Chain A
Amino acid sequence: MTTITQTRPRVAGRVRDRRDPFRATPLTKAALIFTVLLSIFPIYWMIVIASRTTAQAVDVPPPLLPGGNLGENIARVFATEDAHFVTGLTNSLIVTSTVTFSVVVISTLAGFAFGRLRFRGRNLLLGSILITMMVPIQQMGVVPLYQLMVNLGWTGSLQAVILPFLLNGFGVFLMTQYTEQAVPQELVEAARVDGASTMRIYWNVVLPAVRPGMAVLALQTFMLNWNEFMWPLIVLTPENPTVQVSIAFLTGQHSTDYALIFTGTALSVLPLIIVFIAFGRQIVGGLMEGAVKA
């Protein structure tokens, strides 16, 4: 009995130190470093192949360091006429910027209404948005969407890949949450008492307050839409593609020329990597904030 009471505090102290759940063991660090290396490797590999000659790209054992042919390969990608790579890159920039800008505007407007205004049917309408967020409309509705575009004469044109993606329930949901959090109800009421109209409140009170939320939404929308593949592949022509469709064409027509394909691929992720380097902190922060709210 006495022995137990004597030894207990000492053991507890040692155990507590060893069992601290937030202590990073060397194994944890090693695992994290390994994960980061694994995350970087395919991108590194893309650069290695993109900077080699076509013959070197299929060397066994594989080359592990970048070569000196990147500039030459870029010139070759641009010169590959049937891939329409420059058009694809330009189109993707136009489409993605337009979609991002519009989604942010539409979502902040609706988010303000849902987050801070009272109107009949508010809960029902907001609920309907949440439910439809679960339906992958762009995959499910391809057939009628395509027929719609045929009837409008829009197949092969950029509005065909812009308009369907302006529908973004997640954006409305995110901005509703953000407005509720960032815009105090009292501020809206005070502006009303001062005689401000709803649109004036939106412009002068809401927009400045929700700017960080807009940035998160813009980044996510940009990344999501840059990636879009199935719908552009269906509705656009090979002569007027987005960059993803252009790459699919490169892989289909020049499937053995990896130096060429990888250079195109590297160019296609360049805008995303620039965005990530510039806004990485906000992307991490935005994802984490969004996750806790959802």
Chain B
Amino acid sequence: MSLHVETGPRADARAPGRRPRQGGRGPRGRLPAMFDLRVTPYLLISPYFLLFAVFGLFPLAFTFWTSLQKYELAGDAEFTGLDNYVKLMSDGDFWNAVVNTVGIFVLATVPQLVLALLLANALNKRIRGRLFFRMGVLIPLVTSIVAVAVVFTQLYGRDYGMINWILGLFGVDNIAWQNEKWSSWIAIATMVDWRWTGYNAIIYLAGMQTIPRDLYEAASIDGASPRRQFWQITLPMLRPIIVFTVFVSTIGGLTLFAEPVLFNNGRMDGGSTGQFQTVAMYIVEQGFRRFEYGYAATVAWMLFLLILVGVLINYFLARRIGGAK
């Protein structure tokens, strides 16, 4: 009895799914038209997936295969299993690069996104010349990363740099910004921040403008201060966009390359003791300065893992923003 009752609705539910498919066989049965309907969609997406196979899937899979080999410029590749990974675990230079990358990333991203939020909040006010201000904060984006790195490296110059000159007015001795971990990290982080804060602010601003204004009006009538409204309305409503920017910043930050390279006149070592060598620089140093292809591929896979972990951690952190009620 009970069995009968259960099967009844299930059969019913299946039926409507089938009907349109039969109808979709096409009222006109001409072969070219059928071919067009069935096959052309695949032709349209085929250029992308062809490129994806050659320049996406193949490099990723082959990176893994290469990472299992001792593969140098001279001589053949030799399968060595997980040797490269074992070597990597005790490679102080690699871990140094990981620490630098994560350190610079945190130092750059946290202030950047907080500043971007504040900036977006300011841009969202009623103000004359809105387009001027929006374009103004986006100007850094249209300079190239290399240009930013070159200009900031000069500004951070030890003897003639403007930043040391300004600090000197306050009685601070000239700093050799490249020489220490903390100073080089700060210098590189400011390059990243200068270029990307405005971009993130514009993204947040876009999100803020989709928040219905009556929410704020209602909150004002209830006596909530602007600050409280920011925390209780703006931030929770922006959460998906914040997750998006955190995500983009994580990938960008963990693959940081041009800024630290140009901060050191184009060299890959990141200073005399590698104080600002990032993982991406380490890959290039191993693979294309020392021609240890296998080992470079191993580092590349670790970079991927690092990004994966970074994205997950940040995702869970960002999900909590404004989530506590």
Chain A residues engaging chain B, CB cutoff 8 angstroms: 12, 15-16, 19-24, 28-29, 31-32, 35-36, 38-40, 42-43, 45-46, 49, 57-62, 105-107, 109-110, 112-114, 117-119, 122, 125, 129, 132, 134-137, 139-148, 163-164, 166-167, 172, 197-199, 202, 223, 226-227, 229-230, 233-234, 244, 247-249, 251-252, 255, 258, 261-262, 265-266, 268-269, 272-273, 275-276, 280-281, 283-284, 287-289, 291-292, 294
Contacts and interface: CB of A to CB of B under 8 A. Distances in A.
19 contacts: A21-B216, A28-B125, A39-B136, A58-B159, A106-B48, A109-B48, A117-B41, A132-B56, A134-B307, A136-B255, A141-B55, A143-B297, A167-B48, A227-B145, A229-B257, A230-B258, A258-B154, A261-B150, A283-B138
Contacts of A289: 206
A247 B150 contact: yes
Interface residues of B, number: 103
Nearest to B53: A167
Interface stretch (B6-14, B102-110, B179-187, B259-267): B259-267
Contacts of A269: 142-144, 147
B124 interface: yes
B37 interface: yes
Contacts of A145: 55, 59
Given A23-B126, A283-B142, 20 more contacts: A22-B125, A45-B162, A60-B165, A62-B160, A109-B48, A113-B42, A114-B45, A118-B41, A129-B48, A136-B251, A137-B59, A139-B257, A142-B300, A143-B293, A167-B56, A172-B48, A229-B145, A249-B266, A251-B265, A289-B206
Chain A contact residues: helix, strand, loop or mixed = helix
A19 B223 CA distance: 8
Interface of B: 36-38, 40-42, 44-45, 47-49, 51-52, 54-56, 58-60, 62-63, 66, 119, 122-127, 131-148, 150-155, 159-160, 162, 165, 194, 198-199, 202-203, 205-207, 209-210, 213, 216, 220-221, 223-226, 229-230, 241, 244, 247, 251, 255, 257-258, 261-262, 265-267, 280, 283-284, 287-288, 293, 296-297, 300-301, 303-304, 307, 311
Given A49-B154, A167-B51, A284-B202, A40 B139 contact: yes
Contact of A291 (B41, B62, B155, B244): B244
B48 A140 contact: no
B137 A35 contact: yes
Contacts of A42: 140, 143, 148, 151-152, 155, 194
B48 A272 contact: no
Contact of B258 (A118, A229, A266): A229
Nearest to B287: A143
A35 B244 contact: no
A125 B203 contact: no
B139 to A, nearest CB: 5
A269 B206 CA distance: 27
A245 to B, nearest CB: 9
A202 B147 contact: no
B226 A287 contact: no
A164 B50 CA distance: 11
A248 B261 contact: yes
A174 B47 CA distance: 16
Given A28-B127, A137-B60, A244 B137 contact: no
A24 B135 CA distance: 18
Contact of A125 (B49, B123, B251): B49
A143 B44 contact: no
